[in-house]
Amino acid sequence: MRCINGAVPNNVRALNEAVSIVANVSRSYANELISIGAVWARMDELTIDDVLSQYGDHHDYDHDIDAVVGSSRRGRGSSIRSSRVGKGMGRRTSSASIMYGDLPPGWGSGNENDELSSMSTSSSIISTPPSIPSSSSGGRGDDDVDDIIGDHGGMGETHDEHVVRRRTSSRYRRILSPSTIEPGTDIRVYPHPRRFPSCYDFADRTRLLYEDTTFVIVDKPPMLPTQPEPSNYDECCPGCVNMLMGPFVTVRGENVVRPLLCHRVDSCVGGCVVLSKDGNGQRVFSELQASCRFVVVVRQRKIKKLYLAVTTSPVPLGMHVHWMWGRSNSRGQMGGTPCQFVSHKPPETRKKARSWIRCVLEVVKCEPISIAKNDGHTYDPGDAVHYQSTVRLVTGRKHQVRAQLSSLGCPLIRDTLYGPISGMTLDNLDDVDAEGRMDEALSRVRVPTEPIGLQAHAILFAGVKAKARTPWWGDGRI
């Protein structure tokens, strides 16, 4: 996704005028880019207090703080002043709320988010900076599974200073409203933001699967991200749910500004997504997920997730335990392959096991199904036999179901990211021919542009139960 970086010209203070000049677009289109969240501005300096403010409670609107977001190429500090940040927010808000924090503590780029969650006294929300690659850490945007134990910097560097140093490459903040801006401020503009028309499927109220005083569960349509894209703040799961299904009301009778995301589901996957009306619910869900981390027995887990998977080969029934290389499982990390390879062999020693992540799922049912052509989708089933499997997810890893089934030689239909590497694992890397085949397969992997044969079909936790509607491929009746 192409972005344009530039500095606000001299004698320009209106943000829309600056965007118009930097991106070479009209003023009206610049306003549209600002409104959708395709404009970011760079902070002058990242302090410990500023970092911690990003992790505060997003309902704290009593602070009347100007957002210091500029970095002058001439050495001057810069600032942005705005009366509205985000749609539906009628009051002034702190600079921490300029960006929307979707995920609970610990879900960030690299170790620093886990570290910051231990620094912050408020853990209800994270504000995630945009995906700015770092030459030092190689990180950007999402989960990280690395341990927090270890070195925290050079001689004499405190833990807090180490965290701030690692965040210096992520100083940009999203600006969502007309603002005044200091000349010389660095801005980043996405002139052609990614659009997700499937988000407007939430206008169908039957996609609201469950609601109580704390949680909202929806049936996310495929091809919609759960989190905001760098170029698009509105067209994502929380934004469209709030816009088309809201307003929601908390247990205190307060209107929900925007529901908080409790977990991720891949963009190309539809199904159950849990949102929270406030930070407390998000924190509770996060704690339930953390308690599941070391529980292998499905019936003892506090969060139970059920998936439906469609393949053209029958998936072996039973429990499947595979191993992912830890660093490759870090969401958003720069470098490496876009897909996740797994090993079918456990690590040889406990020391080696620290670098690997165990992935466990259980296939409880696999049966042939029929997929009708032109039945509300563009998939052509041809003459192939299709199988629908019911999968209990025991551990929740990045692309876990997709990676494990592909390693078994049963890739999901339409999964152009894992289809080319079907049957390939990390077990035979000593074989030169196997490595060559893997490299050739990797040259053919592509991010899916259509819904794949996977649905987050049901979720159960804390007495809450929800089941998604019929998946895009139909009910499978023969």
CATH value at residue 403? 3.30.2350
The whole-angstrom separation of Cα 268 and Cα 4 is 27
Least confident of 7-16, 112-121, 387-396: 112-121
Tell me if 477 is assigned to some domain. Answer: no
Answer yes or no: do 169 and 221 share one domain. no
**Does 446 score more than 50 pLDDT?**
yes
Residue 433's CB is within 10 A of a number of other CB atoms, namely 8
Answer yes or no: do 224 and 342 share one domain. no
The whole-angstrom separation of Cα 436 and Cα 429 is 9
Answer yes or no: do 179 and 35 share one domain. yes
Least confident of 123-127, 338-342, 456-460: 123-127
φ/ψ of residue 260, rounded to 5: -100, 140
Answer yes or no: do 259 and 167 share one domain. no
Answer yes or no: do 249 and 365 share one domain. no
Answer yes or no: do 338 and 204 share one domain. no
Answer yes or no: do 125 and 64 share one domain. yes
pTM of the model: 0.73
What's the Cα-to-Cα distance from 191 to each of 34, 41, 232, 258, rounded to whole Å? 10, 14, 11, 25
The whole-angstrom separation of Cα 73 and Cα 76 is 7
- Domain boundary at 269, 290, 311, which? 290
Tell me if 445 is assigned to some domain. Answer: yes
The whole-angstrom separation of Cα 126 and Cα 139 is 17
The total number of structural domains in the chain stands at 3
The whole-angstrom separation of Cα 320 and Cα 318 is 6
- Domain boundary at 290, 319, 343, which? 290
Answer yes or no: do 276 and 139 share one domain. no
Instruction: Write down the pLDDT at residue 50.
Output: 52
**Does 417 score more than 80 pLDDT?**
yes
Answer yes or no: do 343 and 442 share one domain. yes
Using CB atoms within 10 Å of the CB of residue 311, give its burial: 0 to 12 exposed, 13 to 18 middle, 19+ buried: buried
The whole-angstrom separation of Cα 59 and Cα 243 is 18
The whole-angstrom separation of Cα 295 and Cα 404 is 19
- What's the whole-number mean pLDDT along residues 255-276? 94
Helix ranges restricted to H, 214-320: 237-245, 279-291
**Does 94 score more than 50 pLDDT?**
no
Answer yes or no: do 414 and 446 share one domain. yes
**Does 70 score more than 80 pLDDT?**
no
- Domain boundary at 168, 189, 210, which? 189
Show the domain range for 244: 197-290
C-alpha 417: how far from its chain's center?
Answer: 17
Answer yes or no: do 353 and 441 share one domain. yes
pLDDT band of 221, cuts 50, 70, 90:
very high
Question: How many CA within 13 A on the CB side of residue 67?
Answer: 32
Strands 270-276 and 454-461: parallel
